[in-house]
């Protein structure tokens, strides 16, 4: 094809050709096979670029959400299987177990007679970021630091991961926990607000951690407000209600 052909493709797609020009153009599409082939690729390529570039953020949100749902589904399958066959070793999937499943917060330790504190709720379970195929240094470091409660080091490693994979919501959530643990509330709350407003499966987890962050900051009004937004389907709903009752 000549330069002129591509310029004409663009004009046709934009609807910029006159009626007569369009008729000639469409006639050529019918009769000239190589013209038609080039035009079809040009058209599909334009649609591809539009989708990839214009919807970039939307697409990565979708993939992140899909990742969470997929992990939750397959982890549940694996868990059911483990119950059936107690000897079966637990396997972790690509990005480890979904956060919603593993952030089981130890709420049974608190003292019913004193005011609830952050420390009553912050016994976070260990995380697993073990990548199934191939070791990843940052993931290993993040996992190890987080699990040994070295949250400063964990934040460094999370940032490293996010540099290449900025839309990884699971890592963002873990990072926010580490930020709350190290009293970097402003950054933590910003991140958690973003996650809790997003359209992902991490929404309620983020709300729960945000409530804990406010609790640590002793901003009880904000704790109550945040707890009230946790949906009934969330696994944190029950503990959220209990905390609400304590605060009332």
Partner 1 sequence: MSAKKIHEDQKYVDGLAANNTFIIQTIYDKFAPKVINYIKKNSGDAYDAQDVIQETIITIYNQAKQNKLELTCPFDAYFFLLCKRKWLNQLKKIGGKEVTINEEVLSEDDDAPMLSFESSVFENKEALFKEAFLELGEACRDLLNATFKIKSMEEVAKSLKITYAYARKKKSLCIGQLTKLVQASPKFNQLKN
| Residues within the interface to partner 1 (CB under 8 A) | 1, 3, 5-7, 9-10, 37-38, 41-42, 44-56, 58-59, 61-63, 65-67, 69-70, 73-74, 77-78, 91, 93-94, 132, 199-201
Distance between CA atoms of 61 and 200, rounded to whole angstroms? Answer: 8
Whole-number minimum distance, CB 38 to partner 1, in Å?
6
Q: Least distance to partner 1 from the beta carbon of 18, Å? A: 17
Give residues with Cβ within 8 angstroms of 4, minimum separation 6: none
Instruction: Considering only the C-alpha atoms of the chain, give the largest distance between any 2 of them, rounded to a whole number of Å.
Output: 86
Residue 39: partners with Cβ closer than 8 Å, 6 or more residues away: 9, 12, 29
Judged by CB, which is closer to partner 1: 37, or 117? 37
* Nearer of residues 32 and 225 to partner 1, judged by Cβ: 32
**In angstroms, what is the minimal distance from the CB of 55 to partner 1?**
6
Cβ proximity to partner 1: between 10 and 115 the closer is 10
Taking the complex as a whole, the smallest distance from the CB of residue 23 to partner 1 amounts, in Å, to 21
Task: Give 69 or 104: the residue with its C-beta nearer to partner 1.
Answer: 69
- Residue whose structure tokens are 């995380």: 127
| Closest C-alpha to 65, from 205, 157, 170, 155 | 170
Alpha-helical regions (H) of the chain: 3-14, 19-31, 33-49, 56-84, 99-102, 137-147, 151-164, 169-181, 185-197, 203-216, 220-228, 237-247
- As measured in angstroms, the least distance from the Cβ of 1 to partner 1 is 7
- For the bound state, the minimum distance from the C-beta of residue 143 to partner 1, rounded and expressed in Å, comes to 19
Name which of 63 and 238 has its Cβ closer to partner 1.
63
Angle at which helix 169-181 crosses helix 137-147, to 10 degrees, equals 40
Tell me whether residue 63 or residue 228 sits nearer to partner 1 (CB atom).
63
């Amino acid at each position: 094809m000549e330069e002129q052909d591509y310029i004409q493709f663009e004009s046709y797609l934009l609807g910029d050709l006159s009626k007569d020009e369009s008729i000639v153009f469409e006639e050529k599409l019918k009769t000239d096979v190589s013209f038609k082939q080039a035009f079809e690729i040009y058209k599909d390529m334009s649609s591809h670029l539009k989708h990839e570039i214009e919807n970039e953020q939307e697409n990565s949100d979708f993939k992140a959400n899909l990742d969470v749902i997929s992990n939750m589904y397959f982890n549940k399958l694996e868990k059911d299987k483990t119950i059936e066959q107690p000897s079966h070793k637990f396997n972790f999937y690509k990005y480890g177990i979904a956060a919603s499943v593993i952030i089981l917060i130890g709420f049974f330790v608190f003292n019913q007679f004193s005011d609830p504190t952050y420390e009553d709720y912050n016994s976070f379970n260990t995380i697993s970021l073990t990548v199934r195929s191939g070791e990843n240094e940052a993931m290993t470091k993040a996992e190890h630091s987080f699990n040994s409660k070295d949250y400063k080091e964990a934040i460094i490693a999370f940032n490293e991961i996010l540099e290449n994979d900025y839309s990884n919501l699971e890592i963002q959530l873990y990072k926010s926990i580490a930020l709350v643990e190290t009293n970097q509330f402003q950054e933590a709350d910003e991140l958690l607000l973003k996650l809790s407003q997003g359209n992902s499966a991490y929404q309620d987890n983020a709300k729960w951690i945000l409530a804990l962050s406010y609790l640590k900051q002793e901003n009880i009004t904000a704790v109550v407000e945040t707890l009230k937004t946790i949906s009934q389907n969330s696994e944190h709903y029950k503990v959220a209600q209990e905390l609400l009752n304590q605060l009332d």
